[in-house]
Amino acid sequence: MPEQQLLDAEKGQAPVIGPGHTFATVTDKISSVVLTQRQPLMWFATLSTAFLLTMLLLLAVTVLFAKGTGIWGINMPVAWGFAITNFVWWIGIGHAGTLISAILLLLNQPWRNSINRFAEAMTIFAVACAGLFPILHLGRPWLFYWLIPYPNTMGVQPQFRSPLVWDVFAVTTYATVSVLFWFVGLLPDLATLRDRSQTRLGQMFYGMLAMGWRGSARHWRQHEVASLLLAGLATPLVLSVHTVVSFDFTIAILPGWHSTIFPPYFVAGAIYSGFAMVLVLAIPLRAAYGLGDLITMRHLDNSAKVMLGTGLIVAYSYLMEAFMAWYSGVGVEKFLMLNRMTGPYAEQFWMLVSCNIVIIQLLWFRKVRQNTLALFGISIVVLIGMWLERYVIIVTSLHRDFLPSSWGMFHPTRWDWATYTGTIGLFLLLFFLFVRLLPMISIFEVRTLLPEARVKEETRA
Amino acid sequence: MSTAGFAIPAELDRDLRRFRTRSLMVGGAALLLVAAGAFLNPPQFFRSYLWAYLFYIGVTLGSTALMMLHHLTGGAWGLVIRRLLESASRTLPVLALLFVPVLFGIPLLYEWSHTDVVARDELLRAKAPYLNVPFFIARTVVYFLLWVALARLLNRWSLAQDRTGDPGLARKMSALSGPGLLIYGLTVSFAMVDWVMSLEPHWWSTIIGMLFMAAQGLSALSFIVALVVLLSKREPLRSVLTPRHLHDLGKLMLAFVMLWAYLSFSQLLIIWSGNLTDEIPWYLKRLQGGWGIIGILLVLFHFALPFALLLSRDIKRSTRTLAPVAGLVLAMRLFDLFWWVAPAFQETGHVSFHVHWLDFAAPVALGGLWLAAFLWQLQKRPLMPVGDPNLEEALAHGRE
């Protein structure tokens, strides 16, 4: 859409794709990262660090399986420590990928075309990390399949009124749809790589994955229909998954958990942290691989705006919670809020407030949104803040509930930290293997952003 | 299409004026009835009045918020209805005036305003620093001051943009709309706590602000869609509004229908499953003695039917089909608010669905007056923001 681009220039916005690109240059540039280019130093550095952290995860999980959850800091009353915090954090991060790939597709937002592929990959790997935690948190993790309703000789069925069972359905659906959507979107690009690969191994690898894609008009037609249908299926998942996660808390009647604003507040928080992760990944990638003309300042600016918007919703939710805790007039509600703000976890609470509310106000300024280093820093801060948010919600509500005689404290052990940082390693390992092996930007969708694509459509019509 | 083409033609102007006079007369007549009701049955008068008032302030504030959302995000959907949204936002001073009767009704509406009741009730004593008459009035004044100020500034710049076409004005409107939406979110949340939630002062629900924001957006959008369809039968909108624009508006309506349903269901599920003594009476009242039927009607006609209909592309693109859906949603908004407000005045366990004749007269009276004010404002400016730099693009979007 040439007019669109002219208008954008008038408004002083960066274009969604750098000038001078043609179909051929886009294909060359993206496929060369996988096929011909030498990987930058950053790739080796990140991958080896990630590999070491993944080994740490393996160690931590092995010890956990050998000795049991006692190696973690959890105990009564705080039985949900790091594991559930990490679960909610990771699954929230995945949401930005689905929002970008599904909702922005349905809303005709073409700027998404150059960030959807790696954002979807991010979703899948984040969900993979998230999915580990509830299983690791089980005392007998080998019996995790008891959560799935199946006819069995014990006559045991899961408790369908429990949101923990809803979680199983929500997360498995989410993982399935995300993988399908991602893979269907990859097909045309896999065929491109198959055709351009110079090695026999590459041709076979991409050839098998491309599932016989020949790029005929019929293929494209069916591909488009399938993509739109999958986008339609994925759209409710952006809301439903974190809504169900929020039910894990709200269905309990604990002060600080049982609050009607949780579903929309959790969804906003998920998208908030997800876009932070998108920026954390996109900013170094575009620098290391010279992709600044495909992932432009426009993408960073838009992502920053989404972060600001969702961050403000999160801030609004904190305010409503704090106000209602007082307004309710109920002693335990007031005590919980006061304990959060001034109790033993006050430090974490005020840190999360500064990370999630105070610092992101910088994003109101265009100058900050245009500064990649500042954006990167703020995104890291948001990720820390959102982790702290879940930590504070979980720990402060549990550690001092209705009965003072059963109060206690939660102290994470080194195994808690090892498991958590281990999944960060796993996530980065998977992600950088993806960058190495698959096109991290959708070639065929970026091509539709070019003036060439538009001209053809217009002459035909 | 030339700039002058968007001015309201003489014929349409005459018809609008005629409609305005009629609306004022109907509203005035109903107002006399309502005034009589105020003497015959003061408690019922205030209940019906508050309910009807919440509906019209919802349409107005929803329009103001959509206007700011459009300034912030742009988009063809907003440009074609911007003048309607702006006209609605300029009725805020009238609505501020119409709130005055509610202030006189505080003792009859709000239990917490009676010192003897508060003295006997521990929870109400705890809430007294917030729920007391002077602070209630002060807050309401602040809400209206902020709303009117936002609407005035944005409308003034929009008018200046008509004259000068200065692109700096679009930037200014956009820059104010970000903080403006923030102010809207906060003030509406607290206004709904004050005006609606405190009708049952023991109950609380943290989602109420978001729920009412979604509901107001839906009311506003449905009203505007119905109106834009009516106006599109005549010039200048006939040659402007295309199925593509309607399609966008229909999609937005679908999104708001879903958002309202999502937030309402979240509140229901959480409170129902918690089953706590402070919260559950709110739903117990609304699911017993005939009110449950209204609840089911809401599920069917506020959510299920409009949702199913709006999924269809054809229904969204045709004036003939989209307008009735908008009408249905608008009617259901009234039902929903009635379900929120009316059971509040009944005792748990002794609820029964009943409608007073004032429940018919009050919405007609307020509606007549509000519609007249709206049309009066609508006639003041061209029907399209002629100075907006994106107008051409928005019109071209419809022709694509």
Write phi, then psi, for B155 (nearest 5 degrees).
Answer: -70, -35
Residues of A in contact with B178 (CB under 8 A): 364
Does residue A229 sit at the B interface (CB-CB below 8 Å)? no
In a domain, A85, yes or no: yes
In a domain, A126, yes or no: yes
The answer to whether residue B398 scores a pLDDT higher than 80 is no
Euclidean distance between CA atoms B363 and A263, whole angstroms: 33
8 A C-beta contact, residue B258 and residue B214: no
* Interchain pair B276, A328: CB under 8 A: no
8 A C-beta contact, residue A111 and residue A445: no
In a domain, A3, yes or no: no
Residues 101-120 of A with CB under 8 A from B: none
The answer to whether residue A3 scores a pLDDT higher than 80 is no
Query: What average pLDDT does range B226-246 have in this prediction?
Result: 87
Query: What average pLDDT does range B69-79 have in this prediction?
Result: 88
Torsion angle of C-alpha atoms A134, A140, A146, A148, degrees rounded to 10 = 20
Does residue A454 sit at the B interface (CB-CB below 8 Å)? no
Both tokens of residue B86?
């702006």
In a domain, A95, yes or no: yes
Lowest mean per-residue pLDDT among A10-24, A65-79, B308-322: A10-24
Does residue B391 sit at the A interface (CB-CB below 8 Å)? no
Minimum CA–CA partner of B129 in chain A: A327
Euclidean distance between CA atoms A44 and A436, whole angstroms: 10
The answer to whether residue B2 scores a pLDDT higher than 60 is no
Of the candidates A139, A140, A222, A149, which has an alpha carbon nearest to the alpha carbon of residue A187? A222
- What pLDDT score was predicted for residue B235? 81
In a domain, A446, yes or no: yes
- What pLDDT score was predicted for residue B238? 82
In a domain, A6, yes or no: no
Residue that is written with structure tokens 């949104």 in the block:
A369
Query: What average pLDDT does range A162-174 have in this prediction?
Result: 93
Cβ within 8 Å of residue A169, ≥6 positions away: A244
8 A C-beta contact, residue B339 and residue B298: yes
* Residue A290 CB coordination number (10 Å): 13
Euclidean distance between CA atoms A91 and A126, whole angstroms: 6
Query: What average pLDDT does range A429-447 have in this prediction?
Result: 94
Report DSSP letters for A102-168, one per residue: IIHHHTT-GGGGGTHHHHHHHHHHHHHHHHHHHHHHSSSGGGGGGGS----TT-----TT-HHHHHH
A259: left (phi over 0), alpha (psi -120 to 50) or beta: beta
Residue-wise pLDDT for A329-378, tens only, equals: 999 999 999 999 999 999 999 999 999 999 999 999 999 999 999 999 99
Euclidean distance between CA atoms A274 and A241, whole angstroms: 14
**Higher-scoring residue by pLDDT: A406, A15:** A406
- What pLDDT score was predicted for residue A12? 59
- What pLDDT score was predicted for residue A461? 41
* Residue A359 CB coordination number (10 Å): 16
**Higher-scoring residue by pLDDT: A458, A283:** A283
The CA distance from B268 to the nearest CA of chain A, in Å, is 9
The CA distance from A329 to the nearest CA of chain B, in Å, is 5
Long-range contacts of B303-307 (CB under 8 A, 24+ apart): B303/B257, B303/B260, B303/B261, B306/B253, B306/B254, B306/B257, B306/B332, B307/B254, B307/B257, B307/B258, B307/B261
At residue A455 the predicted structure's pLDDT band, cuts being 50, 70 and 90, is: low
The answer to whether residue B270 scores a pLDDT higher than 70 is yes
Euclidean distance between CA atoms A268 and B185, whole angstroms: 15
Does residue B99 sit at the A interface (CB-CB below 8 Å)? no
The CA distance from A446 to the nearest CA of chain B, in Å, is 22
How many domains is chain A built from? Answer: 1
Nearest-CB residue to A259 (from B130, B206, B263):
B206
Nearest-CB residue to A327 (from B130, B271, B389):
B130
∠ Cα B139 B144 B150 (to 5°)? 130
Does residue B209 sit at the A interface (CB-CB below 8 Å)? yes
- What pLDDT score was predicted for residue B4? 53
Q: What is the amino acid identity at position B263?
A: L
* Interchain pair B274, A258: CB under 8 A: yes
The answer to whether residue B393 scores a pLDDT higher than 90 is no
- What pLDDT score was predicted for residue B100? 96
* Residue B102 CB coordination number (10 Å): 17
Torsion angle of C-alpha atoms B152, B155, B157, B160, degrees rounded to 10 = -120
* Interchain pair A251, B273: CB under 8 A: yes
Residues of A in contact with B276 (CB under 8 A): 253, 258
Does residue A397 sit at the B interface (CB-CB below 8 Å)? no
Across all residues in chain A, what is the average pLDDT?
91
The answer to whether residue A7 scores a pLDDT higher than 60 is no
Euclidean distance between CA atoms A254 and A78, whole angstroms: 13
Residue environment code for A101-113, b if the CB has 16+ CB neighbours within 10 A, otherwise e: bbbbbeeeebbbb
Residues 335-364 of B with CB under 8 A from A: none
Length of chain A counted residue by residue: 461
- What pLDDT score was predicted for residue B285? 93
The answer to whether residue B110 scores a pLDDT higher than 90 is yes
Tell me A12's DSSP state.
T
In a domain, A154, yes or no: no
Nearest-CB residue to A253 (from B210, B274, B389):
B274
Residue-wise pLDDT for A223-254, tens only, equals: 999 998 998 888 888 899 999 999 999 999 99
Residues of B in contact with A263 (CB under 8 A): 207, 262-263, 266, 270
Euclidean distance between CA atoms B299 and A98, whole angstroms: 28
* Interchain pair B204, A327: CB under 8 A: yes
Of the candidates A58, A83, A153, which has an alpha carbon nearest to the alpha carbon of residue A390? A83
Q: What is the amino acid identity at position B373?
A: A
Residue that is written with structure tokens 């915090």 in the block:
A85
8 A C-beta contact, residue B257 and residue B249: no
The answer to whether residue B3 scores a pLDDT higher than 80 is no
Of the candidates B15, B156, B24, B33, which has an alpha carbon nearest to the alpha carbon of residue B86? B156
The answer to whether residue B78 scores a pLDDT higher than 90 is no
The answer to whether residue A4 scores a pLDDT higher than 50 is no
Residue that is written with structure tokens 């859409």 in the block:
A1
Residue-wise pLDDT for B303-352, tens only, equals: 999 999 999 999 999 889 999 999 999 999 999 999 999 999 998 888 88
Is the confidence metric ipTM above 0.85 for this complex?
Answer: yes
Euclidean distance between CA atoms B29 and B34, whole angstroms: 9
In a domain, A5, yes or no: no
Long-range contacts of B192-197 (CB under 8 A, 24+ apart): B193/A327, B194/B136, B194/B139, B194/B140, B195/B50, B195/B54, B195/B102, B196/B54, B196/B340, B196/B341
8 A C-beta contact, residue B254 and residue B310: yes
- What pLDDT score was predicted for residue A401? 87
Minimum CA–CA partner of A253 in chain B: B274
Both tokens of residue A417?
């930290």
Euclidean distance between CA atoms A170 and A182, whole angstroms: 18
* Interchain pair A260, B127: CB under 8 A: no
Minimum CA–CA partner of A461 in chain B: B400
Query: Residue A455 sits in a domain of what CATH number?
Result: 1.20.1630.10
Domain with A69 in it: 11-149+159-460
Euclidean distance between CA atoms B236 and B230, whole angstroms: 12
Does residue A263 sit at the B interface (CB-CB below 8 Å)? yes
∠ Cα B45 B49 B50 (to 5°)? 120
Residue-wise pLDDT for B346-357, tens only, equals: 988 888 898 999
Omega before residue A404 within 30° of 0, cis = no
Q: Which of A105, A261, A305 to mutate to test the interface with B (most CBs of B within 10 A)?
A: A261
